[in-house]
Amino acid sequence: MYLSAFVICLLPLAAVAVNVIQSNDDGWAEKNLRVFYDSLVDAGFESFISAPADNESGKSSLDAPPTEVDDGCQFQSCPPGSPPTGNNASMPRFNVDSLRHRSKRSSQLTVEQYVNSYPVTAMKFGIQTLSEDFYGGLPDIAVAGPNVGSNLGIVTQFSGTVGAAVEAVKEGIPAIAFSGSSGEQTAWNAPLENYMSVYADLSTTVTQALVNSGTPYLPSNVFLNVNYPEVNEDCAAPSDYKFVLSRVNIAIPFLTPADVETCGNDGRLPNETDVVGTDGCYASISVGDAGDKTTAGKEAQSVVLEKLGSILSCLPS
């Protein structure tokens, strides 16, 4: 898998072992999640997966104690009757041995864990329980996705991917939700497709840019909602894409407070739906309020604009 030139130039800065927790709502055995894991590890991050045992798309912020797996995990990744949480011990994960050596972890640990419940529950379990085993404390940053399908505008209210990211923020961990319009739910052991590599590479770019901006990575009670357009012959490589700062929800004239000023916008950011729908390869980065999953205020937007300025672009006028 290739990394964008931007990520490559930042690789030395990632050597200070930034600890990541990954989750999603498509399920722990969905390939997008695993390819993103590979990309993060290649970029120098330490990461582990705590995600639902099965597809839990659209479950928003539902939360419930994990239960025994009745019919087996997604894509037969664990057998019927498996415990409420667990891992596939027969499939050591990618660079787990080298990671274990660097972190002096238990030989029994694997870096992918399923939680037979909702995305929020999986994220919470990963932060409150698994992170201590892996990192001896809390993760530095949380990422959710890349989701199979966009999570734009009002859809963010129902998205389990966004729900997982918001849960991390509530646990005190800065978080990013990633979603892309290409693809369908695919098993972890299926052939690699280009859109998976592109989304993983772009997501690593955003994660690393945020980390390299310094702590605190995000203002309190804020998450990032990142959406990618379709990967096609015109948008086939990470270098084809441009990131644009955007809004989650539509602004109401005369009622919605002004946004941060950038790209000569007179204080109004474009909606994320409009960004992704613009001709070209434009990806949206919205600053979300973890309280209501709508657009965060101007002050938080200003912080993110400064932090991610090196990767942000403007829509064509």
- Listed in sequence order, the residues at least 6 apart from 153 whose beta carbon sits closer than 8 Å to its beta carbon are 248, 249, 250, 271, 272, 273
* Distance separating alpha carbons of residues 162 and 177, to the nearest angstrom: 6
- Indicate if the pLDDT at residue 15 is higher than 80: no
The secondary structure of residue 12, as a DSSP letter, is G
pLDDT band at residue 87 under the 50/70/90 scheme: confident
Tell me how long the chain is: 317
Residue 47, judged by CB atoms within 10 A of its CB (0-12, 13-18, 19+), counts as buried
Average pLDDT value for the chain? 90
Q: Is the pTM of this model over 0.85?
A: yes
What pLDDT digit, counting tens, does each position of 44-86 carry? 999 999 999 999 999 999 999 999 999 999 999 999 999 999 9
Place of tokens 């997982």: 164
pLDDT for 16 = 66
What pLDDT digit, counting tens, does each position of 116-168 carry? 999 999 999 999 999 998 999 999 999 999 999 999 999 999 999 999 999 99
pLDDT for 141 = 98
According to the CATH classification, is domain 17-311 in 3.40.50.2020? Answer: no
pLDDT for 109 = 58
pLDDT for 107 = 40
- Indicate if the pLDDT at residue 181 is higher than 50: yes
pLDDT for 191 = 97
What pLDDT digit, counting tens, does each position of 1-12 carry? 334 444 444 444
Range 252-272 average pLDDT: 96
* Distance separating alpha carbons of residues 206 and 204, to the nearest angstrom: 5
What pLDDT digit, counting tens, does each position of 233-256 carry? 999 999 999 999 999 999 999 999
* Distance separating alpha carbons of residues 315 and 136, to the nearest angstrom: 43
pLDDT for 221 = 98
pLDDT band at residue 102 under the 50/70/90 scheme: very low
pLDDT band at residue 17 under the 50/70/90 scheme: confident
- Listed in sequence order, the residues at least 6 apart from 155 whose beta carbon sits closer than 8 Å to its beta carbon are none
